[in-house]
Structure 1
Amino acid sequence: MNMWEGKKVRLRAILPGDWTLFHENDQDSDGARLSDATYFPRSEEGTRLWAERQAAMEPDGDNMMLAIENLEGELVGTINSQQCNRRNGTLQYGIAIFRPHWRKGYGSDAVNIWLRYFFYELRYEKVSAYIYAFNEGSVAMHERLGFKLEGRLRNMIYTNGRHYDEFVYGMLRSEFVVRH
């Protein structure tokens, strides 16, 4: 059994050849706004170089980014960890699914694989996800997965001409174990 494979997706390293799908995804400004921010346009060469750097990058402690592909081998998004604190057993993570693959269960499956690794292999105790209040799909997915709303950061995100709140969702290892 491959611990990086779930029922619908597998997690793998980003490959240099993934650049074309990342470049295509970069054209989706509304999708970018949901998970991060909109940026200046990047050239094909810039995206290719970014993918090459990501493919060659070593993890920074437990901070890392992996590609999400469906079981047919098609790249569908990314998942990453950040703010990993081994001393306290806490981390934050983010996930981005490319628009053509929304609402197919790929995000939920990827998060379960990710959390299984951090909770069962690395002994983390708590994961947090910061979600823009207007990202209703991500809010619904995290609530379905058993994350608890722990806070609201008022007017934290500025995009599309106005400020928005950011929600902080969390899950403890014990809560994950009960569900899985």
Structure 2
Amino acid sequence: MRLRGVEPEDWEAFHRFDENTDDMRRMDRIHPPRSAAAQREWAQKTAVKEQDDRLLLAVESLADGAVAGMVTTSETDHRAGRFLYGVAIGTAHKGRGYATEAVRLLLGFMFGERRFHKCEASVWGFNDASIALHRKLGFTEEGRLRDHEFFAGRHHDVVLFGMTAAEFAARHPFPREI
């Protein structure tokens, strides 16, 4: 797999993610349906938008070139050196290691090239697969916000995770200098 910018023609893949309630809930939360025209416009705008350190990247399967999901960064704080990230893989591509590899690539870039010090992540308390992924990658559980988000008819906990650049490098060494 590889990470790449969103292209205008990716609109159909993202539209399929938005049509799948489980995919939407894993990515964020359920939003009102978006028309194909609106999804095309979003992909077009995203494809030409300056990214800076707030990234939205497609996770692409090398086997067939399909968009398998996305990774994002947000809430970048250069003064403190931290950022928030998210990863979502579509149902059709689950269980193939895309999330693990996508997060490793993203963190390697943000820590090793952009000089950030800490990555933070928020995970729905019921998302056992995502909690296991973060623990496997070496994130530390830093807290739990009880009954913090409302969807699907009730409030849910949010589990907070963090990882420093040094913790990442200890588990996933940066490439040697040339």
TM norm structure 1: 0.92
CA deviation after TM superposition for structure 1 residue 34, in Å: 2.1
Which secondary structure state, in structure 2, belongs to the residue aligned with residue 79 of structure 1?
strand
Residues 155, 165 of structure 1: 8 Å contact kept: yes
Amino acid at match of 2:60: E
Amino acid at match of 1:102: K
Greater CA drift, 101-110 or 27-36: 27-36
Residues 34, 134 of structure 1: 8 Å contact kept: no
Percentage of matched positions with identical amino acids: 39
Moved runs in structure 1, 4+ residues, more than 2 A? none
Deviations 1:78-131 (CA, angstroms, capped at 9, x unpaired): 111001111111010011111111111000000000000011111111100000
Q: What is the aligned counterpart of 2:167 among 143, 167, 175?
A: 175
Q: How many residues are matched?
A: 171
The alignment's C-alpha RMSD in Å is: 0.9
Map 1:35-114 → 2, pairs under 5 A:
35-59=27-51, 61-72=52-63, 73-114=65-106
CA deviation after TM superposition for structure 1 residue 30, in Å: 2.0
Q: Which residue of 1 aligns with 2:176?
A: none
Deviations 1:32-56 (CA, angstroms, capped at 9, x unpaired): 1122111111111111111111111
| 1:146 aligned onto 2:138 | yes
Structure 1 residues not aligned, in runs of 5+:
1-8
TM norm structure 2: 0.93
